[in-house]
Structure formats: structure tokens, C-alpha cells
Structure 1
Amino acid sequence: MEHGPGMLRDGAILLAFGLACVLLFRRLGLGATLGYLVAGAVVGPHVLGLVGGAESMLGFAEFGITLLLFLVGLELNPQRLWRLKHDIFGLGLLQVVLCGVGLMGVLMLARFSPAAALALGLPLALSSTAQVLPMLQSVGRLRTPFGERAFSVLLFQDLSIVPLIAILAAMSRAPANLDATPGWVVGVQTLTAVIGLVLAGRFLLRPLFRLIGRLGEREMFVFAGLFTVVASAALMASLGLSTALGAFIAGVMLADSPYRHELEADVEPFRSVLLGLFFLAVGMMLDLGAIADRPLFVLGMAVAVIGVKTGVIFALGLAFRMGWREALALGLLLSQGGEFGFVLFTQAQAGLLIEPATASLFGAVVTVSMAFTPFLMRYTGRIRAEPRRADDEMPEGPSSDGASALVIGYGRFGQTVAQMLILQRIKVTLIDQDPEMIETAGSFGAKVYYGDGTRMDLLRQAGAAEAQLLMFCPDGDAIDADFLHGVAAAFPGASVFVRAYDRRSMIRIAGGPVAGAVREVIESAVCMARMAMGALEIDDDDIDRVEHEYRRRDEERLREQSDTGDLRAGIERIITENRELAGES
């Protein structure tokens, strides 16, 4: 795109069309991806011609895929990733190989040479990580057994980019490049880079985020998060490897960090915007002329890709002991072509394995297959919504950590609340802003995440949308009624409880939609007063009457203060001298 005013004009046009189409397609229940693709095609050179430079924008927007893999890595600690190894290297490997061979056979039936059929079939075997993972996240399925299997396949596909490029290079008919790096050297470089990222994550990144947490500068978290992604991606790119793989490894190394939720909340907006631009660019690059010249071929080949991949993945799912509904849903979900197909088509073209017109034609096939995905996603939802038998695979759980309760603030108050909930076997996610307290809690075995629990985006990342309890126990009086109304609107399924610092805090939250609010010291003070009266051998019934009278006066006074906003309201109810309890009733 042009620089200066022209770039601003192009940006405004892209955003306007993207916004309009996404709103329309969301309203129709077809998802944002199809809206972006259509918007890009409309403003692109083949329809209205309002915006150009799709190739340069695509290169920039592909960073959104890198950010996506970083966020996915944050969801997968090393132990969980190790648990998925059979799905990654078993199901994932078989999917790429068998789908590639199956599509190669279809292309040979369409009278392509074996070399061209293989050069096209392997890229078509890959699915769209950029399309599938956000869809799974949006419906809360990414951390379920079904979502983990889909992710495992997609992760292996990303890992397979390097060997697929090597295969295409070995098949190349172009003049040999004597300066090319031997395959074993690439393998050693890859292993070294991965080990380097692992060590950097443990010994450099965690101390860096700990320092930033102590400084309390939220903007520095944004910078540090983007630095982490860019640096890891740049390291991999310098070795000719997948940038998304580097970002993913960096994310995995920080998945056990207390700063995970803060990083997710800070990086997520960049990921969303860049992925939107990516699909806009893909839509702009859609060669409508190629489709117009051979519409039946493009449509038929897109259907063939979907059919072959669905059938192969369905059979593999059954072989890996999935129920038939989930196996079919997985096949439909991963049946489209993927964004890395464009990269591999370019490699095949450079190796003189296919003509430029063929690369353009199959780019259109990939885009059309991606356009089918929102419809197929709706169908998979219907398939998987059928009732399960008791012995079927475990039901889907919520996203994030699957916690039933979020405790925000892990000071002296929050610790008691959290420990009592845990004693009842309620799964709890703990959030606090004090790095020193987090480290101290960690030394006692408590896992506390760093973050500002009054930020809606961070609460959402931590799983508030699926939680049943939101327990706000921070120091100070940062909570007010307006904030609580926002929480209730954003997370209507959760019961909200608030720890109030004093009477002023109680007045600030008056009228807020809370299931319960407690002043920090009132219960302990009442308890001590009862103990003191007991030490004087006062009868238990009298002690109960005194407590009841105090609470009645206190509640009435607090109600008047909340209604008027005046701390002096109800002053006559303050007990300032010894009086007969009977005479006060």
C-alpha cells in the first residue's frame, strides 16, 4: 500500500468494509472469517479495485498467526504438551501423510503429473490454524479433549512446514543452488534454536516479567510481551524456520508463569486485529478471474479437498478411539486448505514444479475451501450436540483453567477465602498484583497469577465467563458499584462476592449486583467481643442478644448512609455509653 494519505485512505476503506461485512456475517451466524474474506475480495483488484498491495499486507498480517501460536502456547504448559505427544506425532503425522497421498491421487486423476500432484497435494493436506483455533476459542472448546486433538493436528502441521519445504526443494527442477544449507545442518540449527528458547524462557524472560511486575507499569508488559514474540519469531526466521513455531515455544515456556493471564490480556488485541487483516489480504488475493475461467474446476476441487480430508481424518479419529460423532466433527473442522498452502505453492512454483497460473488457481481453491468452514463449523456443533452415553468421552469443560471460582486478591483475606473453597474441592484460580506476595505464596505451594483483577479483559482470559464464583478480595477500596454492574453484565453466570475495606467501601458498592459483601474486620471484631464477654462469664443468651442488637443497629445505620451518601447519617444508632440492652430494644 502507499504511504502517507494514500495509506490512511486504504486503511479506512479496509476497516470500513471489514467492519460492515463482519457485522453482517456475524448477524447471519456465519462467523467473522467469511466476512473478512468477502470484504477483502470486494475491495481487492478483481472487484472494486479500491485497495491494492495485498501481498505486502499479507506479509505483515501473517504476524497475527505468530501471535496466535504464542497465545496457544501460553495455554499449554510442558506437562500438558507432553501428554498430547501421541496425538501430535501420531494423529498429526498420519493426517498430513494420508491426506497428502489421497489428494495426490485425486490430482493425478485430474491429469496432473505425479510431481505436480505431490507438490499440490502436500500443501492442500494442511489446514488453517488461523481459522480453526479462534473458532475453537470463541466457543470454549480449545481446552476440551476434542479441541486438544484438533490443536495437536494443527501443531504438527506447523512443525511439518520445514520438511515439506525440503521435499519440494529436493523435487525442484530449477538449477541447483550450491549455497543451499544441507538438511542435517538445518536439523541441528532447529534443535539448537528450540533449546535456546527454552533456556531463555526460564532464565531471562521470567526474571524480566518479575521486574516489570514490581515496577507496576502495565505498558511495559505490552512491550515485553511483543518483544518476546518478535524475538522468538526472528530467531526462527533467521534459520529459515517457522516463526509461529518460535512464538509457540516461547508461550509454552511462560505457561507456568504467574504472568500468563496478564500476557494473554495484553497480546490478545494485537492478535485479533492482525488476523482480521490477514483474512482481508487473503480475500484481496483471491483471483476471481481464475475462478471465472474455470468455476467448476475450482468449486469441484474445493469440494474434493474437503471430502478427502474429512474422510481420512474421520477414519483416523475412529482408529484413535474417538466416538464417530467427534471423529466426523474433527474431519469437517480440519477439512479446509490452510494459509501455509500459499507459501508451499510459491515454493513449488519456484522449483518449476507447477505453472504460475496453477499456483493462482489452487490459491483460489484454498480460499474457497476456507469460505466453506463457517458453514461446516455450524454443522459440527449440531453433530456434537447430540446426547452422550455415560461411557462416552468426558464432557467438554470450560476454557481457561476450568476453575469454578476466581479469587482476586490473595492477601490475608483472600487466602482464607481461597483455602476454604479448596477444602471443599472447588477449583480456584488466584490473581494478585503484588509480585513479592506471589513469590512468597509460591514458596508455600500456592499458584497465584499476576494481574489486575479489575480489568475485564484479564478476568475474561482467566475464565470468568465460565466461573460460578467471582470473589473480589483486594486491599483498598478499588471496587465500586459501577464496576460491579460491568462485571454482572460481562459475566452473568457468576455470583459476585466483595471484600470491603470499611464502611466507606460498603457505601461505594451499595446498589451493586453482588451476592454478598463483607467488611474485612467486622466478623473478627464481633468474635473477639463474644470471647471477651465469655471470659466475664456472661450467659450465652445475653451474648447472643448483644450481638443481634449490635448487628441490627449497624445494618440500619449502613443502610441510611448508603441511601444518603452521608457518613453521619444514623449517628444516633452508634453505641457510645453503657445502656441496658432491654431498654434499647
Structure 2
Amino acid sequence: MEHSNASFLPSLLLFLGAAVVAVPIFKRIGFGAILGYLIAGLAIGPSGFALFTDTVTIQHIGEIGIVLLLFVIGLELQLSRLLAMRKDIFGLGGLQLVVCALVIGGIAHALGLSMMGAAITGIALALSATAIALQVLGERGELQAPYGQRSFAVLLFQDMSVVPILALIPLFAVEAAHAANDGGGWTRTGIMIGSIAVVVLAGRYLLNPLFRILATTDAREVMTAAALLLVLGTALLMQWAGMSMALGAFLAGVLLAESNFRHELEADIEPFRGLLLGLFFMSVGMDINGALVLQHWLALVISALGLILVKSVSVAAVFRLTGSTKLDAIRSGILLSPAGEFAFVLIPLGLSYGFLQGEQAGFVKALAAFTMLFGPLIAAGSERLLTRFAPAELTREEDYSDAHGKALVIGFGRFGQVVSQVLRTADIETTIIDKDVEMIDVAARFGAKVYFGDGGRLDVLRAAGAGEARVICVAIDDRATAVKIVEMIKAEFPLTEVYARAYDRQHVLALLSAGVDFHMRETYESALAFGRSTLEALGVDNIEAEEIIEDVRDRDARRIVAQQQGGIYAGMDLINSKRLMKPEPLERPDTVGVTLNKEAIDAAEEAKEEEETG
């Protein structure tokens, strides 16, 4: 056992070291993490320094990253989101994939590939690099721009289409055709349908109660273990039934897309997904034939540039045809031109079924990697050219007057419920998270949708959409956690406004130090309203009661400022000072007033003495 552990650790350290060195370097020079993983794998693989040669085992482990990626994609596909973007997702996305696959596949067939080999190559290269495109959009801050939204819709359709593509390729294989003729086809079909039915029923009736029970234990590691068990178990079931593991993971994600635990599951899966997906790309890099690249490097460079040109023109034409401006169409075409990560899944699958020969598959994989290398460079260069030659169109201001802002509410207690009701009444798209399972159940009975999630975790905030929210409302009653959340949000999402519920004055000062944009003590405004009603009940007229309340509010605000400078005991003189009412006439009288009797004179003198003594 000790020998086994000792032999495993060097390999683990090798992979971690290669990733730690290569990925930051490639991200720093603008090529992105994916290319960093590919080059790291190529360097330590058989075509590089040959530090690791068992590429098959690593690729099998790395495929779990693809499985987890499909699960996360499924989690994002809520029915409401699909319906809102259905025209761009299914119309624009479907048209883009068909046009690009036909053009690229036709060229591949003309160059000598078989019909099925050309079809698989066309589809694999028609898919775009989701990670690269989203990274570029994020760096430009244009994910919410019209072309950014439409490009995202295309990427979403491509991610969805991978699942049926992976399921359909085996049906065209010669082995599958023979198997279908031996009388066992109906049995296998029944097993497939039955497996899908089991997953659907379990997701519909068992998963939410199971995660609700686990959430009450307050053991995060158990929730993480359950999430991995769900994804990998479903993937294994689909593989046993004769389908792809990715299909099972995707199906599990879709079933949980409307679950209260969606954001928590996504946050738990994300670290494993990132690491294993990186391992998958490293295994792909290890599998790249270095000798082939050296032998055909000029052909690969020319082919990669040609593919980027053909794909950019095809995508731009589709975008322009469906209503985008010329500029947006060009930008989307360039953005979506690099081949995607799923090319490294589809090409080996085509090779395993005999649709592609070994050298053909190796060339296409290397070609996909080269487009990933050139894509970000061409996107950056083209943006500079567009900025220079189309400045007026690039700097135009969009009209967002009809757009609704997005809000994230953390905490669904008494305070958070009222805030959420206000936002929903205004028809503002709002995400609500809370880690109290009982509160989530109560909310469901009243028709409110609350997601399970710990707002004190950065990964949960990211999964819940904190990066896209315009305002985040911290409505929890835990003072220390509220301050921590505000600090975290201001550090990670500095452009997002943070509104927070405060417990008392000390909590207000802590929130202000953390950078909160707006705070409200949970009982302060209600106490002022209560005091005003009390004044009116005692005979104070409405106008004077409002003036008194405003005076109290103003002195309280000045005291907060003083306490920020001098500590909690500063501004004590502002607490109990009375509001001196000195009514004055609107105009100075022309005549001097005359007293009418001795009692009036005595009363005036007494009032004057009291005012002087204070």
C-alpha cells in the first residue's frame, strides 16, 4: 500500500506543477487557461518530455470533467430562461450550427474524408470555445451587450446540442447497425427508455426531499458528496444503458435546474469541475501527436487561419441574416470562430467507431488546438481595428430605459420577505437565497421561489449571479456574517451596489467600514413611524410631527458621521437635545405691539427670564 501511494504522488505532483506553471503564463499573455492546459499536457506527454506516458488512464479520469461540465450546463437551463431566449437559442443557435457544419464538413469531404468522417469533423469544428468566448466578453464587459447576449445564446445551444450529438454518433457506427439486427435492439431500447424514466422520476420526487434532509445536518461535506454521487451515479447509469455519461449528467442537471438547491449544488461541483476539466485538456494535450504537428506545422497554421476565416464569415452571415447590425455580426463571427472543447470529445469518438483514421483524427485535434491559439489574438487585433475604423458605431449609447435591473437578496427572514415582496411587485428579476430549509419550505407554500445557499460563501454568490446583479441586498440577522458578506462582495464585485440590514449602531459602523452603499437598522424606521403616530395621538399636528421626526433622523445621521471619526461614544450631545420651536412671523409688522394688561406683562417677563436662564 505504501509503495502504491508513493508511486501515485509523483504523478499527481507532476500534473499539479505543470498546470500551476503553464496556466498562469498563458492567461497572463492573453491565450486563456484552456490553451495553457493543452500546452502543459503536450510538454509532459509522450510528444514532449515524456514525463508521463499513460494517457488513456488520465483521459478517462479527465472525462469526468466533461461530465461535470454538462451537469452544470444542465443546471443553468431553467425553463423560464429557455423560454425568454428561445428565439436566439433555438433559431440563431440552430442555424449557426447547421450552416457552419455544412460548410466545414463540405470542405473536409472535398479534401478526402469519408462522408461520416467529414460530418463529424464539420460538427466538431462548428462548435465554439465557450470558455474562450465568455472570457473575452467578460474582459470587455460586454456580456450584456446585444451581440454578447446573442453570442451567449449560440453557445448555450451548442452546449445543449452536444448531448444528442454524442447519443447519435454510435447509431451510425457499423457495430451498432449489426447489433440492431441481432434481435437485441428492442431490449437495449427498452433499457435506455427505462433508465431515462428512472432518472426523471428520481429527480422529480426524490432529490429535493433528499437534499432537504441533508441540508438540515449542516454538514457541507455531505452535501458535496451527495452532489458528486448524483452526477456520477446518473452518468454511470446512462453508460450502462448504452448511452453517454455526458447525457446522464446533463439530464440530472436539467432535473435540478428548478430545485431550491441549484446554486448550492453548482457551488459544490464547481471546484471539481474546474480541476477535472483542466485534467481533461491536459490529457488531450498529451494525446496530441507532436511528430505530426512538426511534420505538418505549415499546413496546420494555414488550415487554422482558413478555418477561422470561413467560420467567422459563416457566423457573421447568420447573425446579419437574423437581425444583428453589421458590426455586431462581425464581432460575433470572430468571437465564435475558435473550435470548442467538445471537439476533443467528438473527434476521438469518431475515431473509435472507425469514421476517422488515426492521422486524420490527430490532424483535426491539432487544428482545433491551433484555432484556440489564434482565436484570442485575432479577437484582440480585430477589436483594435474595429475601434479605429468604426468609432462612431462602437461608441454609440444603447437605450436601457426599458430594462429591469437584477437583484440578489440574501436571507428570507422577516426583513428579507418584505424586501423581496417590494422587488417582485415592481416586476424586478430577483434571486433569493437562504440556508434555512424550513424557511424555504414556508416560502414555497406562499408561492415564493427561494434557493438554498450560504451567502457567506463566495462560490455560492457567484453561482447565484452576484457578478451580474446590479444590487445585492444582505438581509440576514447574523451581524458578523453580514459584514463578511459585504466585504466579500465589495472585493470581488466592486461595481455592484450592496444594501444591508443592520442590527444596531455598532453594526452600522462595521458595515460602513466594509464599504456598504446603503444600510438600514432593522427597527429604526418602524420606531420613527411609531413615534410619529404617538405624537399625533397626543395632539401634535401632522406637519409638526413630521418636522420632529426629520429632526431626529438628521441628528442621528450626524451622530453616525461623528462616530465614524471618534468612536461609538462620539456625538452624545446629539441624542437628547431638544428641538427648539421658535415660530416667527412671515413678515415683520409695521407697528409695535402693545400689551393690554398687567397679567400679560408679567407672563412675558417670566418667559423672557426662563429663556435667558435656559
- Provide TM-score, normalisation by structure 1: 0.82
CA distance in structure 2 between the partners assigned to 1:543 and 1:79 by the alignment: 48
Q: Which residue does 2:225 correspond to in 1?
A: 223
What amino acid is aligned across from residue 516 of structure 1 in structure 2? F
Q: Give the corresponding residue for 1:497.
A: 499
Q: For 1:501-512, what aligned pairs fall within 5 Å after superposition?
A: 501-512=503-514
Indicate how the Cα distance of structure 1 residues 83 and 180 shifts in structure 2: closer, same or farther if over 3 A, else same. Answer: farther
Instruction: Give yes or no for the alignment of 1:32 onto 2:47.
Output: no
Q: C-alpha separation between the residues in 2 aligned to 1:345 and 1:552?
A: 69
1:161–1:332 Cα change, 3 Å: farther
Q: In structure 1, give the amino acid aligned to 2:478.
A: G
Inter-CA distance 113–32: structure 2 relative to 1 (3 Å threshold): closer
Aligned to 2:607: none
| Cα pair 2:103 2:122 within 8 Å, conserved | no
In the other structure, the counterpart of 1:69 is: 70
CA shift for structure 1 position 288: 0.9
Distance change in 2, residues 1:359/1:212 (3 Å): same
What residue number does 1:453 align with?
455
Whole-Å Cα distance in 2 between the matches of residues 478 and 358 of structure 1? 60
Return 425-434 or 226-235, whichever deviates more: 425-434
Partner of 1:428: 430
Paired residue for 1:145?
150
Q: How far, CA to CA, are the matches of 1:341 and 1:511 in structure 2?
A: 49
Q: Distance in 2 between matches of 1:281 and 1:148?
A: 29
**Alignment correspondent of 2:164:** 159
Counterpart in 1 of 2:17?
A: 16
The residue number in structure 2 matching 1:527 is 529
Once the 2 structures are TM-superposed, how far is the Cα of residue 298 of structure 1 from its aligned partner? 3.4
Give 1:430 deviation, angstroms.
Answer: 1.6
For residues 484 and 48 of structure 1, do their structure 2 counterparts lie closer, same or farther at Cα, with a shift above 3 Å needed?
Answer: same
Q: Which region of structure 1 is more displaced relative to structure 2, 145-154 or 26-35?
A: 145-154
Contact 2:316–2:330 (CA under 8 A) maintained in structure 1: yes
Moved more, 480-489 or 78-87: 78-87
Give the conservation status (yes or no) of the 8 Å contact 1:26–1:32: yes
The 8 Å contact of residues 167 and 243 in structure 2, kept in 1 or not, is answered as yes
Q: 1:564 to 1:33 in 2, by over 3 A?
A: same
Q: Deviations over 1:225-248 (max 9, x none)?
A: 212211221121112322222211
Q: Any idea what SS the aligned residue of 1:478 has?
A: helix
- Preserved CA contact (<8 Å) 1:214 1:435: yes
Identity of aligned residues (%): 34
Q: Deviations over 1:269-324 (max 9, x none)?
A: 11111111111221121111112223333334444544554455455555555555
Q: Name the aligned partner's letter for residue 147 of structure 1.
A: F
Name the CA distance, whole Å, in 1 between partners of 2:492 and 2:29: 23
Q: 1:325 to 1:244 in 2, by over 3 A?
A: farther
- CA separation in 1, counterparts of 2:71 and 2:314? 29
Asked if the contact 2:77/2:254 (under 8 Å) is kept, the reply is: yes
Q: 1:245 matched to which residue of 2?
A: 247
The aligned amino acid for 2:149 is: T
CA distance in 1, matches of 2:497, 2:198: 45
Higher mean alpha-carbon deviation, 546-555 vs 232-241, is at 546-555
Contact in 2 for aligned 1:40/1:282 (Cα 8 Å): yes
Task: Give the structure 2 partner of residue 51 of structure 1.
Answer: 52
Amino acid at match of 2:209: P
**1:466 corresponds to which letter in structure 2?**
E
Question: 1:247-326 counterparts in 2 under 5 A?
Answer: 247-317=249-319, 320=322, 323=325, 325=327
Change (3 A) 1:510 1:378: closer
**1:446-500, CA deviations, whole angstroms, 9 ceiling, x for partnerless residues?**
2222211222222222222222222111123234655533321212112222212
SS in 2 for 1:256: coil
Moved more, 2-11 or 36-45: 2-11
Aligned 8 A contact 1:496 1:516 in 2 = yes
- The answer on whether the counterparts of 1:40 and 1:284 sit within 8 Å (CA) in structure 2 is yes
Gaps of at least 5 residues in structure 2 are 582-610
| Helix, strand or coil at the partner of 1:62 | helix
Q: Deviations 1:512-548 (Å, cap 9, x if unpaired)?
A: 3122222211221222222122212134565456545
Match of 2:6? 5
* Larger mean Cα displacement after TM superposition, 204-213 or 413-422: 413-422
The letter of the residue matching 2:454 is D
Q: Give the match's secondary structure for 1:255.
A: coil
Q: Which moved more, 1:310-319 or 1:403-412?
A: 310-319
CA contact (8 A) 1:58 1:281 kept: yes
CA, structure 1 residues 220+133, in 2 after alignment: closer, same or farther (shift >3 Å)?
A: farther
Is the Cα–Cα contact under 8 Å of residues 546 and 581 in structure 1 kept in the other structure? no
Matched to 1:471, the amino acid is C
Give the partner amino acid of 1:62: E
Q: Contact conserved, 1:25 with 1:34, CA < 8 A, in 2? A: yes
- Report the secondary structure of 1:407's partner residue: strand
Q: Return the letter of the residue paired with 1:286.
A: I
- Change in CA separation of 1:530 and 1:205 when aligned onto 2, cut-off 3 Å: same
Q: Distance in 1 between matches of 2:183 and 2:339?
A: 29
The one-letter code sitting in structure 1 at the alignment partner of 2:38 is L
8 Å CA contact 2:125, 2:368 repeated in 1: no
Deviation at 1:572, TM superposition (A): 7.9
> 3-state DSSP class of the match of 1:514?
coil
Give the TM-score normalised by structure 2.
0.79
Deviations 1:13-57 (A, max 9, x none): 322332222222222222111122122222222222233322211
- Separation in 2 of the partners of 1:353 and 1:529? 81
Cα offset, 1:4, TM superposition: 2.8
In structure 2, give the amino acid aligned to 1:487. Answer: I
Deviates more, 1:476-485 or 1:197-206: 476-485
Worse-superposed segment, 543-552 or 408-417: 543-552
Query: Counterparts in 2 of 1:174-193, with a 5 A limit?
Result: 187-193=189-195
Q: Secondary structure at the match of 1:35?
A: helix
CA contact (8 A) 1:36 1:279 kept: yes
| Aligned-partner residue type, residue 48 of structure 1 | F
The CA distance in 2 between the partners of 1:333 and 1:195, in whole Å, is 39
Distance change >3 Å, CA 180–CA 517, structure 1 → 2: farther
Distance change (3 Å), C-alpha of 1:263 and 1:530? same
- Tell me the SS of whatever aligns to 1:144: helix
Other structure's SS at 2:127 match:
coil
1:76-115 correspondence to structure 2 within 5 Å: 76-81=77-82, 99=100, 102-110=103-111, 112=112, 114=114
- TM-superposed CA distance for 1:205, in Å, is 0.8
Conserved 8 A contact 1:92-1:154:
no
1:71 Cα deviation (Å)? 1.3
Cα deviation, residue 394, structure 1: 10
Q: Secondary structure at the match of 1:499?
A: strand
Residue number among 399, 405, 408 corresponding to 2:407 in the alignment: 405
Offset from partner CA, 1:344-378 (integer Å, 9 cap, x none): 55555555555434443443333333433433554
Equivalent residues in 2 for 1:434-583, closer than 5 Å: 434-479=436-481, 481=483, 483-540=485-542, 543-544=545-546, 546-547=548-549, 550-551=552-553
Give the CA RMSD over aligned residues: 4.2
Q: Which residue of 1 aligns with 2:594?
A: none
Change (3 A) 1:116 1:476: closer
| In structure 1, distance between residues paired with 2:169 and 2:234 | 22
**One-letter amino acid of the counterpart of residue 8, structure 2:** M
Partner of 1:127: 127
CA–CA separation in structure 2 for the residues paired with 1:181 and 1:441: 52
- Alignment partner of 2:409: what SS? strand
Question: Which stretch shows the higher mean deviation, 423-432 or 349-358?
Answer: 349-358
Which whole-Å CA distance do the structure 1 matches of 2:485 and 2:101 have between them? 53
Query: Quick check: 136-145 or 28-37, which moved more?
Result: 136-145
Runs (5+) with no aligned partner, structure 1: none
